[in-house]
């Protein structure tokens, strides 16, 4: 899932995202909560209509961003008080509020409001944090069950135009009355402790969600530890529900985790790296700012058939980046997204082929 | 002609420019001279190949930018010594050097190196400046005649894939041997004095160029004065050669001047205004940053059929701009360029229809 923080994948128009084969994108509740605000999006019919995007959208709960604010936040049983990074205004998110906001935004998949346990955390802290996330998960589900009919698209939103043949793009849910509703996913926490992760998984499954995410990773721990925790957690998640690994990762990592049973991943890496001139290619990473590319007439990635590699030279891309031209960010992002999506298509064909 | 200062129309990929119907774009010699440098562009086969653009390109002479540097420049009979706005390094452009650089960049149309007379200028100053421009025009032509075979594409560049049915896109020239060469245009100066303008036109025509530009306008003078000077100068330029009005203007102005006999215009207004959230529509200018558009579901311009107006609401465009999203600059630029090009298409159909 490419990241479209503020209801836009930075620099890439929606028709180009469609052409790239993006089937689902992630948008950030925290950012949309501040700008343009949930009421605006709700009144405009929800995120899909607001950003003119018919395919699937997932919103995170805002928890991860709020916890990243460090000095600006205060956690209590009730929720998290924080100050906006934009204007310092006092704000509050709780399980109920985060769910309310996500219902208002109207994404296809929404996430439970969890506490992302920091790294490192000792055993006691990891347990306390996990228990809080479990209590919050129940509150999210209760709120959701009571309010799920309040989506801005009512029962009017049709299943998206995208084909849902691929298991990794979950179908929109239908509730008891047959109305289409959002899917609320639970999140497994538990720090880096396998036993806690297992317990978190079991108790989250007990609450019951249509999909499960593995959260609290990519928070500074070594890559090997991430892998260990992911693999040991995956075992305890039902294979017939989408399993979503949050915030991962490099092309190699997404290929590895997809083959290990992860169904969904999101990461800012392809888009953020692109804006910093770091490009992923079949021959490895290319830092396009380097002077060695100044007169390099070859395509960025000769094995790539994206619009950028078909048309422009490394020399031109290097010039655009060095001259701080807007087009550098557009073209670099298009290429990196294509590279990630092509990687996933390849992995899926491997999986289908056994 | 949209402006692609650094071999890129800011934020818009070349395939989208083609789709918009851009047939010729302007690139700035001064900026390319500094970055990436003419030798790089020459070695990469010239601007067309460098930026992957088959259609026509015009480069200005660098004169206008150099004269805008004010404190950083020193004019002599020989040329202009100036300091780079990027790193303060000492540089020099003369008629010969500016022509050499433009031959190296290899645009289809290149411009004589002129002195853009400041406004206001008294009669003596306007004449002195005009005389200098005339002496420089001769030197540009001499240099060009001697070196025109040194284009980076040699005799290899084929006429562009664009149809040249429209008079406003001049065909590439052919020299005596039948090889394709660039077209070097002369520039009429003379301040705001009609008599001087007439003299400048006559003496520039005497030197002899395949096309003529009206320079030294849009330098701070009142709009009515611009109009007066343009109309009085146009009379003295041959109607069978392209007449190019430099640096003009608003949609109303380009429509007016096109109907008055101007064949070519360039202006940063559509692209620069777009990046500042100022959008041209059939209902007048829209400053998309305004809060009044925050929940406006209508298309930016209901009468416009560009990709932006067909897909996105004012509310979304306002959000993108307010949140400082890259996509705002991309979409705004696409719309404004479409609006300008559609305006020109309309005017051309009026002209064809008499």
Distance from CA of B217 to the nearest CA of A (A): 28
**Ranges A165-174, A228-237, A239-248, B6-15: which has the least confidence:** A165-174
pLDDT in tens, A192-215: 999 999 999 999 999 999 999 999
- From the candidates B240, B266, B296, B305, give the one annotated as an active-site residue: B266
C-alpha Rg value of chain B to the nearest Å: 20
pLDDT in tens, B154-201: 655 554 433 334 434 444 555 555 567 899 999 999 999 999 999 999
- Per-residue model confidence (pLDDT) at position B246: 97
Mean pLDDT score across all residues of chain A:
93
**Rounded alpha-carbon distances, angstroms, from residue A305 to A26, A198, A228, B204, B320:** 25, 42, 35, 50, 30
Could you tell me the pLDDT band of residue A174, with boundaries at 50, 70 and 90? low
Q: How far apart are CA A100 and CA A142, in angstroms?
A: 11
Under DSSP, the state recorded for A197 is: H
**Does the distance separating the beta carbons of A10 and B315 come in below 8 Å?**
no
Tell me the average pLDDT across A285-300: 98
Set A108, A263, A266, A301: catalytic member: A266
If you ran DSSP here, which 8-state letter would residue A66 be given?
H
Phi, psi of A114 (to 5 degrees): -120, 170
Does B330 reach chain A within 8 Å, measured CB to CB? yes
Flag the least confident range among A153-157, A339-343, A350-354, B280-284.
A153-157
Name every chain B residue with its beta carbon within 8 A of the beta carbon of A288.
Answer: none
User: Would strands A173-174 and B278-281 be described as parallel, antiparallel, or unpaired?
Assistant: unpaired
Q: Which chain A residues have a beta carbon less than 8 Å from that of B293?
A: none
Q: B89 phi and psi, to 5 degrees? A: -65, 145
Note the pLDDT tens digit of each residue in A100-113.
999 999 999 999 99
Confidence grade of residue A165 (pLDDT, cut at 50, 70, 90): very low
Q: Which tens digit of pLDDT belongs to each residue from A43-96?
A: 999 999 999 999 999 999 998 888 888 778 899 999 999 999 999 999 999 999
- A267 close to A254: Cβ distance less than 8 angstroms: yes
B35·A320 Cβ contact <8 A: no
Residue B60 falls in the annotated catalytic set: yes
Q: Which of A14, A295, A331 sits opposite B40 (nearest CB)?
A: A295
A185–chain B nearest CA distance, Å: 28
Q: Summarize pLDDT for B26-38 with one digit per residue, the tens.
A: 999 999 999 999 9
Distance CA A143, CA A33 (A): 18
Q: What pLDDT shows up at residue B354? A: 83
Q: What's the rounded mean pLDDT across residues A260-271?
A: 96
Query: What is the count of residue pairs from A and B with beta carbons less than 8 Å apart?
Result: 111
Interface check for A329 against chain B (CB to CB < 8 A): the answer is yes
Residue range B133-154: average pLDDT?
95
In this structure, are residues A189 and A199 in contact, taking their beta carbons and an 8 Å threshold?
A: no
Are residues A264 and A245 in contact, defined by beta-carbon separation less than 8 angstroms?
yes
In tens, the pLDDT along A15-49 reads 999 999 999 999 999 999 999 999 999 999 999 99
pLDDT band at A164 (very low <50, low <70, confident <90, very high): very low
pLDDT exceeds cutoff 80 at B112? yes
Average pLDDT of the segment spanning B67-87: 90
Residue with tokens 């289409």, as numbered in its chain: A180
- Is the pLDDT higher at A176 or at A234? A234
Select from A12, A322, A326 the Cβ nearest to the Cβ of B329: A326
SS3 A81: strand
* pLDDT recorded at residue A156: 57
CB A188 within 8 A of CB A237: yes
pLDDT tens per residue across span A299-327: 999 999 999 999 999 999 999 999 999 99
Tell me the average pLDDT across B79-86.
Answer: 94
Distances, alpha carbon B5 to alpha carbons A103, B219, B326, in Å: 45, 19, 19
Contacts of B50 in chain A (CB under 8 A): 313, 315-316, 319
Helix %, strand %, coil % for chain A, to 5? 45, 15, 40
The phi and psi torsions of B318 (rounded to 5 degrees) equal: -65, -45
Q: Which residue has the tokens 């990630």?
A: A340
For residue A176, indicate whether it is catalytic: no
Whether residue B302 is predicted with pLDDT greater than 90 in this model: the reply is: yes
Tokens of A245: 């690994």
Q: Indicate which residue of B60, B114, B263, B301 is catalytic.
A: B60
Q: Across the interface, do A52 and B312 touch by the CB < 8 Å criterion?
A: yes
Task: Indicate yes or no: CB of A325 within 8 angstroms of CB of B297.
Answer: no
Contact B313/A at CB under 8 A: yes
Nearest-CA distance A179 → chain B (Å):
26
Q: Work out the angle at residue B64's Cα, subtended by the Cα atoms of residues B60 and B66, and round it to the nearest 5 degrees.
A: 110
Q: Give residue B173's pLDDT.
A: 56
Strand-strand pairing, B24-27 and A284-287:
unpaired
Q: Does B8 touch chain A (CB under 8 A)?
A: yes
Nearest to A241 by CA among A197, A201, A200, A209: A209
Sole residue written with tokens 């959701």: A144
Q: Is the pLDDT assigned to residue A178 strictly greater than 60?
A: no
Q: Using CB atoms and an 8 Å cut-off, which of residues 14-53 of chain B contact chain A?
A: 14-15, 35-36, 40, 43-44, 50-52
Whether B319 and A35 lie within 8 Å, measured CB to CB: yes
pLDDT band at B71 (very low <50, low <70, confident <90, very high): confident
Q: Indicate yes or no: CB of A11 within 8 angstroms of CB of B327.
A: yes
In chain A, the residue whose alpha carbon lies closest to the alpha carbon of B309 is A52
Residue A25 tokens, joined: 């994108």
Give pLDDT, residue B319. Answer: 98
Find all residues with CB under 8 Å of A265, minimum gap 6, and list them.
A1, A244, A245, A246, A248, A249, A254, A257, A258
Residue B315 and residue A50: Cβ atoms within 8 Å? Answer: yes
Place of tokens 């009919």: A149
Share above pLDDT 90 across residues of chain B, in percent, rounded to a whole number: 88
Q: Chain B contacts of A35, Cβ < 8 Å?
A: 319, 322-323
β-sheet bridge partners, residue B83: B90
CA–CA separation, A196 vs A199, rounded Å?
5
Q: What is the overall mean pLDDT for chain B?
A: 93
């Amino acid at each position: 899932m490419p990241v479209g923080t503020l209801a836009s994948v930075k620099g890439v128009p929606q028709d180009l995202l469609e052409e790239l084969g993006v089937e689902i994108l992630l948008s950030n509740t925290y950012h949309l909560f501040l700008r343009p605000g949930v009421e605006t999006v709700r009144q405009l019919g929800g995120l899909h209509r607001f950003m003119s995007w018919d395919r699937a959208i997932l919103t995170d709960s805002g928890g991860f961003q709020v916890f990243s604010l460090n000095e600006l936040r205060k956690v209590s049983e009730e929720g998290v008080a924080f100050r906006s990074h934009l204007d310092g205004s006092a704000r509050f998110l709780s399980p109920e509020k985060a769910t309310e906001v996500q219902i208002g935004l109207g994404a296809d998949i929404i996430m439970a409001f969890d506490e992302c346990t920091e790294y490192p955390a000792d055993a006691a802290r990891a347990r306390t944090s996990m228990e809080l996330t479990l209590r919050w998960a129940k509150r999210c589900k209760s709120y959701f069950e009571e309010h799920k009919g309040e989506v801005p698209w009512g029962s009017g939103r049709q299943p998206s135009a995208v084909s849902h043949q691929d298991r990794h793009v979950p179908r929109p849910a239908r509730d008891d009355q047959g109305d289409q509703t959002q899917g609320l996913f639970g999140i497994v926490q538990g720090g880096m402790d396998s036993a806690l992760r297992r317990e978190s998984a079991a108790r989250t499954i007990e609450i019951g969600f249509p999909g499960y995410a593995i959260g609290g990773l990519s928070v500074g721990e070594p890559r090997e530890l991430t892998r260990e925790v992911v693999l040991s957690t995956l075992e305890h998640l039902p294979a017939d529900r989408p399993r979503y690994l949050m915030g991962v990762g490099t092309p190699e990592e997404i290929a590895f985790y997809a083959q290990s049973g992860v169904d969904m991943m999101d990461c800012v890496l392809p888009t953020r790296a692109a804006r910093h001139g770091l490009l992923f290619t079949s021959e490895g990473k290319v830092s396009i700012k380097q002077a060695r590319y100044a007169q390099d007439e070859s395509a960025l990635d000769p094995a790539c058939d994206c619009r950028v590699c078909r048309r422009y030279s490394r020399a031109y891309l290097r010039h655009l980046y060095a001259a701080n031209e807007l087009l550098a960010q557009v073209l670099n992002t298009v290429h990196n997204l294509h590279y990630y999506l092509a990687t996933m298509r390849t992995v899926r064909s491997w999986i289908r082929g056994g």
